[in-house]
Each structure stands twice: as C-alpha cells, then as structure tokens.
C-alpha cells in the first residue's frame, strides 16, 4: 500500500472516531510517515501514527487495524501541546507540523500551530532550542539508573536515554526523529553532512562494539517467543501495552528482521532489547513464573550490548553524558548555530 492511501484510511478512522467521541477537538499525523510523498510504499512493518487532540486526558488507544492499515493512536490535550511557540521548540512535536499533517481541525487551533511551526522550523535559533531539549532528555534520563530495580527496569532506564543521543543529529538536520530506526537515521544524517566517521562512536555507545548478524537473529528469535508469551498473558495496563500485542507484532519482529537483512543488525539490537524489557515488565506483573523462566534469553541479549551488570550500565551512562559536548558540537555544525554560544 502507498503512504497516501494509508493516510486516507487513517483520516477516515479519525472522522468515524470523532463522530463517536464528542471530546475530540482535532487530529494530526506524526511519526515516520510525516513528510513522505503519497506514492511512497508503506512497509508492512510500519504503522501510521495519529495524534487525537481532546478536551480531557484519555488513555492511549494504541495500535489497531482499520481497513488493513495498522494505526498507532495517541491522545493529547491542548495543554500537552502548549502554545505554537511551545510546539516550535519541542523536538517531539515540531516535526509533526513542519508540513501539513492536520487531519481534523474544527477549532482552527491546529492550523495556527502548523503555520507558526512551518514558518520557524528551519530557523537555527529554534533548531538549537529543540536540540537543547534532546540533550536535557539524555542528561536527565541517565542521571540515575537504580541498581536495585529489576533488570527490565534498569535496562529500560539506561537504554532509552542512551538511544536519544542518536536523535540529536536528526533533530539538528530537521529530520523527523524516529524510534525503532533512530540509529539508521542518525547514520544517514551524519554521512550526508560529511561526519560519517562519528557514527561508529555513536553506535558503540549502544552496543559496545556489537555482535554478528547470526547472534542478533538468535536474539530476535528469542524475543519473538517472549513477545508472544507476554502478549498472551498481558492484563496489567502499561503505557506501552499496545506495542506488545498481536496487532503490533509485525512492527517489532518483521521490522527488526528487515534491519538485520539490510546489514543493520547492530542497529536492530536497540528495539530488540527495548521490546524484551517491555515484555519482561508485563511478565513480571502477570506471569512471574514465566518471567523467571524466560529471563536467560533476555539476559543474553543485554550481555551482548556489554551492559550485563549494573556497574557496566552506570559506566556506559557516564560515558554517554561525557560525550555530549562533542555531540553538541556535531549538532551545531549540522544545525548551523554558533556552538560557542
């Protein structure tokens, strides 16, 4: 299916949802489809991200299928978005409005945000502000990694802020920061700006040097078994619950297999281990015995990132924080601001 067709299906779902839910005040596209031409092929392992704006907070609907298209639906309030300037300064929300992503806008407020963001998006002052937000996310996230927490919580607390370092070049380059493929995108951006020699350092901050593709395929096979078990027993709600479900399986399993087949097996380890940790959060809550039984495969994947112990995770976190001045200079060179400022 082409991206334009998938977006049309998503817009149809929004119209139907808005008729059933009177609190809906607008909707827009986000995620990896933003900026793609209508004739681009949407991979089977990709979803279409839709953000629904509501009067009051609501639970994330998560992943669902509508007319053959996998949608990822998130709900926000106007307070979550903030003013047009707040959105323009946000590395999370600004990329959603650099083009016309508005699906529904009965109040006109999303159009106001879109017009302000589209006009100011490439301004180096705002690029720098968004990059500063990325840097703060890394520093704040890696400040404390609780060595007494369960392994899946420790790994999540270390892994996600560490991976945000890969977002910094993308934000500086005015690219839409992705989640699962963020290292692949960082590699493309650095190469496009004559900075390909910096990528090995970035990737090593994730995996410490990495392992071969056969080993990663083995980890993916182990994850697939754990994923299916977690999806089967899941009862306790988590913010990521919709990502561990039969509907979401192609994004995780097939998407990771595509990266491995493309020679990006080291990059695939980010989402493999992130999803492993999420599965073990579910299993620990809803099937503790199975969590213990399946834990060795998770531990093996974590060990292949070079962070088997809490001390190793702490050391690697400190190394990432120490590297940030250098990455800030890289972002400044890409984004065009005065790095001395």
Residue 111's CATH number: 3.30.460.10
Looking at 55, 89, 121, the residue that finishes a domain is 121
Give me the domain span that covers residue 94.
Answer: 3-121
In a domain, 311, yes or no: yes
Contact between 334 and 186 under an 8 Å Cβ cutoff? The reply is no
Residue 167 shares a structural domain with residue 276: yes
DSSP bridge pairs for 74: 51
Among residues 121, 143, 162, the one where a domain terminates is: 121
pLDDT in tens, 48-63: 999 999 988 887 788 8
Residue 336 lies in a domain: no
The whole-angstrom separation of Cα 59 and Cα 284 is 22
Question: Is 71 within a domain?
Answer: yes
Total structural domains within the chain: 2
- Determine the pLDDT at residue 340: 43
User: Which residues, including other chains, have CB under 8 Å from residue 125's CB and lie 6 or more apart?
Assistant: 337
Do 142 and 291 belong to one domain? yes
Contact 49, 32 (CB under 8 A): yes
Confidence of residue 177 (pLDDT cuts 50, 70, 90): confident
The answer to whether residue 299 is domain-embedded is yes
Same domain, residue pair 116 and 187: no
> Which has more confidence, 272 or 19?
272
Residues 91 and 237 in one domain: no
100 in the same domain as 153: no
State how beta strands 48-54 and 69-77 pair. Answer: parallel
> Are 280 and 170 in the same domain?
yes
In a domain? residue 140: yes
Residues 167 and 251 placed together within one structural domain of the fold = yes
Kindly write down the DSSP assignment for every residue of 1-44, as one continuous string: -BHHHHHHHHHHHHHHHHHH-TTEEEEEEEGGGTT--TTSB--T
pLDDT single digits (tens) 120-159: 999 999 999 999 999 999 999 999 889 999 999 999 999 9
Res. 213: pLDDT tops 90: yes
d(CA 111, CA 101): 10
Phi and psi angles of residue 238, each rounded to the nearest 5 degrees, phi first: -125, 160
Residue-level pLDDT at 223? 98
| CB neighbour class for 11 (10 Å; exposed up to 12, middle 13-18, buried from 19) | middle
pLDDT of residue 29: 96
| Cβ–Cβ < 8 Å for 4, 66 | no
At 236, the pLDDT band (50, 70, 90 cuts) reads: very high
Whether residue 258 lies inside any domain: the answer is yes
């Amino acid at each position: 299916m082409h991206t334009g067709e998938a977006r049309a299906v998503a817009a149809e779902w929004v119209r139907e949802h808005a008729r059933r839910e009177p609190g809906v005040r607008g909707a827009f596209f986000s995620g990896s489809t933003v900026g793609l031409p209508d004739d681009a092929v949407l991979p089977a392992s990709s979803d279409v991200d839709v953000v629904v704006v509501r009067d009051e907070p609501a639970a994330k609907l998560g992943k669902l299928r509508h007319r053959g298209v996998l949608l990822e639906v998130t709900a926000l309030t106007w307070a979550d978005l903030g003013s047009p300037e707040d959105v323009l300064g946000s590395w999370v929300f600004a990329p959603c409005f650099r083009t016309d992503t508005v699906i529904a806008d009965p109040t006109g407020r999303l159009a106001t945000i879109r017009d302000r963001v589209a006009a100011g998006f490439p301004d180096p002052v705002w690029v720098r502000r968004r990059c500063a937000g990325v840097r703060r996310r890394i520093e704040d996230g890696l400040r404390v990694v609780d060595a007494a927490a369960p392994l899946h919580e420790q790994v999540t607390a270390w892994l996600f802020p560490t991976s945000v370092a890969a977002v910094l070049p993308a934000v500086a380059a005015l690219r839409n920061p992705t989640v699962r493929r963020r290292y692949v995108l960082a590699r493309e951006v650095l190469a496009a700006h004559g900075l390909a020699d910096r990528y090995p350092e970035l990737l090593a901050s994730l995996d410490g040097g990495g392992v071969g593709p056969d080993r990663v395929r083995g980890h993916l096979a182990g994850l697939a078994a754990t994923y299916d078990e977690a999806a089967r027993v899941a009862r306790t709600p988590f913010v990521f619950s919709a990502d561990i479900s039969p509907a979401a399986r192609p994004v995780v399993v097939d998407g990771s297999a595509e990266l491995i087949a493309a020679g990006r097996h080291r990059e695939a380890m980010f989402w493999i281990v992130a999803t492993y940790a999420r599965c073990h959060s579910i299993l620990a809550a809803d099937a503790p015995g199975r969590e213990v039984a399946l834990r060795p495969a998770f531990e093996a994947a974590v060990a292949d990132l070079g962070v088997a112990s809490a001390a190793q995770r702490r050391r690697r976190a400190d190394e990432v924080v120490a590297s940030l001045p250098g990455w800030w200079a890289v972002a400044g060179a890409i984004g065009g601001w005065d790095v001395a400022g």
